[in-house]
């Protein structure tokens, strides 16, 4: 009999050094020197935030602090907890045939490790776009049940892929008859697969619309699903209340995905002027995942990136940034995503500096991971800003992130749902 994944997590967490979630008072008062209003860009001084339970109940109130935990941060700036809409918590930077040695139970445990790392890095909400065996669904549920610390997760389960596509299992020879969990071809089959993935707990549907970089035998520029197949995927997902994220590097795949009605384009490396115009017309978000290019240039040799991946990585990263800049300059809606797992989890906030280098202001970069990301997720009423009635997901940094966005790489406090996980 197979051991249930959640039982393994519960059994092994004490051995891995994971503590139970800290028990906090029901009322918490934060006094901070500054707070950034991410909607307006205004920096507020001498701010008091009152938290009751897991929600923000008042800001700049004179409420009594008797019985409350008081957190004094006179030199810090408060911001809402950050949101990363493109993570793979259950994966680590393991490439090529080494991937075949990672079992589903181990992937679940990797997710438990990375969930805590990501939360402590200041990311209190993530969208997990692709996992084997519904390990991200199990991880989400374990976090929600208080079994282990981690961010709020919108989980996709397995990504949809054509046979032999970027999200299929292409490392094993024919006699293994290996197929990834999300492999489906043709309108009838992709409809069935969307319904199956939702049946097993997915919050969002991930579809691989083009080839990719870290996969064998495909071309990132080539479209994979047809326009008709993607329209069927989106129609079923939206009717059943799920948004759709489309992995898409190539120009045609980007255009078809946006035309089909997906909610976000992930990566967008070869986006052209026609694609930019289409994303603007349709209101499709672009999730650029740019820091991974820098990390890979510095570490590809050290980590032994297989040549079949390294060549594609070099080609894609050589063209991606200038195309993404065109999208920025044209006013395409941008949401913050990292593809963490291509590089180590916890480095997510390095993405901000790349956005600024490409041409965003620090405020615009911060908005991609707060108000914009919350809008993409459909969670504007819950997260993305420090406001009364929203979850008490708050981080603090020492200094002014509007002057130095790299401060977000080292939060001095991380709170999720009124519970403090980091305080330096």
Q: Phi/psi at 36 (nearest 5 deg)? A: -90, 120
Q: What is the rounded distance in angstroms from the CA atom of residue 35 to the CA atom of residue 228?
A: 47
pLDDT tens-place string over residues 54-69: 999 999 977 667 788 9
As a whole number, mean pLDDT of residues 77-94 equals: 97
Q: Of the ranges 94-108, 110-124, 147-161, 408-422, which one carries the lowest mean pLDDT score?
A: 94-108
DSSP-derived 3-state class of residue 413? strand
Element (H, E) at 27: strand 27-36
pLDDT tens-place string over residues 371-402: 999 999 999 999 999 999 999 999 999 999 99
pLDDT tens-place string over residues 182-234: 999 999 999 999 999 999 999 999 999 998 888 888 888 889 999 999 999 99
Q: Do domains 27-80+385-423 and 82-377 have the same CATH topology?
A: no
For 133, what's the count of Cα atoms within 13 Å in the CB-facing half-sphere?
Answer: 16
- 263 has catalytic annotation: no
Q: What is the rounded distance in angstroms from the CA atom of residue 306 to the CA atom of residue 218?
A: 15
Query: One of 136, 339, 390, 416 is an active-site residue; which one?
Result: 339
pLDDT value at position 23?
53
Bin 116: left if φ > 0, else alpha if -120 < ψ < 50, else beta: alpha
Q: Phi/psi at 153 (nearest 5 deg)? A: -125, 130
pLDDT tens-place string over residues 95-132: 888 888 889 999 999 999 999 999 999 999 999 999 99
- Report the share of the chain in percent with pLDDT over 90: 78
pLDDT band per the 50, 70, 90 thresholds, residue 178: confident
DSSP-derived 3-state class of residue 130? coil
The fourth-level CATH superfamily of domain 27-80+385-423 is Urease, subunit C, domain 1 (2.30.40.10)
Taking every pair of C-alpha atoms in the chain, what is the biggest distance, in angstroms? 70
The answer to whether residues 228 and 261 touch, using CB atoms and an 8 Å cutoff, is no
What is the rounded average pLDDT for all residues in the chain?
Answer: 92
- 219 has catalytic annotation: no
Q: Which residue ranges make up each domain of the chain?
A: 27-80+385-423, 82-377
pLDDT value at position 360?
98
Q: What is the rounded distance in angstroms from the CA atom of residue 212 to the CA atom of residue 376?
A: 23
Task: Give the DSSP letter of residue 76.
Answer: E
CATH no. for 82-377: 3.20.20.140
Judged on CB neighbours under 10 Å (0-12, 13-18, 19+), 18 is middle
Query: One of 193, 206, 231, 312 is an active-site residue; which one?
Result: 206
Enter the tokens of residue 277.
């115009």
pLDDT value at position 99?
87
């Amino acid at each position: 009999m197979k051991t249930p994944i959640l039982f393994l997590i519960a059994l092994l967490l004490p051995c891995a050094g994971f503590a139970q979630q800290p028990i906090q008072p029901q009322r918490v008062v934060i006094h901070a020197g500054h707070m950034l209003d991410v909607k307006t860009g205004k920096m507020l001084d001498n701010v008091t935030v009152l938290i009751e339970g897991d929600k923000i109940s008042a800001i700049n109130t004179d409420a009594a602090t008797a019985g409350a935990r008081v957190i004094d941060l006179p030199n810090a700036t408060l911001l809402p907890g950050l949101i990363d809409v493109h993570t793979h918590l259950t994966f680590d930077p393991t490439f090529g045939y080494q991937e075949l040695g990672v079992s589903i139970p181990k992937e679940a445990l990797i997710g438990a490790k990375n969930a805590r790392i990501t939360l402590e890095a200041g990311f209190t909400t993530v969208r997990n776009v692709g996992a084997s065996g519904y390990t991200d669904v199990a991880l989400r549920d374990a976090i929600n049940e208080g079994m282990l610390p981690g961010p709020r997760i919108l989980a996709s389960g397995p990504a949809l892929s054509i046979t032999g596509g970027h999200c299929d299992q292409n490392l094993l020879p024919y006699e293994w008859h290996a197929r990834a969990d999300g492999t489906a071809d043709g309108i009838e089959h992709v409809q069935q697969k969307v319904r199956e993935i939702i049946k097993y707990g997915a919050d969002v549907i991930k579809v691989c619309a083009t080839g990719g970089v870290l996969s064998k035998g495909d071309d990132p520029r080539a479209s994979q699903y047809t326009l008709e197949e993607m329209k069927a995927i989106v129609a079923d997902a939206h009717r059943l209340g799920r948004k759709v994220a489309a992995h898409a590097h190539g120009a045609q795949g980007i255009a078809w995905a946006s035309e089909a009605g997906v909610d976000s384009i992930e990566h967008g490396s070869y986006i052209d002027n026609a694609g930019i115009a289409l994303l603007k017309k349709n209101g499709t978000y672009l999730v650029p995942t740019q820091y991974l290019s820098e990390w890979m240039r510095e570490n590809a040799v050290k980590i032994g990136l297989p040549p079949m991946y390294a060549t594609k990585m070099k080609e894609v990263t050589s063209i991606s940034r200038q195309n993404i800049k065109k999208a920025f300059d044209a006013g395409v809606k941008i949401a913050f995503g990292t593809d963490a797992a291509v590089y180590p989890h916890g480095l997510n906030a390095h993405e901000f500096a790349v956005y600024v280098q490409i041409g965003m202001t620090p405020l615009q970069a911060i908005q991609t991971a707060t108000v914009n990301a919350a809008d993409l997720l459909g969670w504007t009423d819950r997260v993305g800003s420090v406001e009364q009635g929203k979850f008490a997901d708050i981080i603090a940094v020492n200094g002014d992130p509007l002057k130095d966005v790299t401060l977000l790489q080292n939060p001095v406090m991380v709170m999720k749902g009124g519970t403090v996980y980091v305080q330096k």
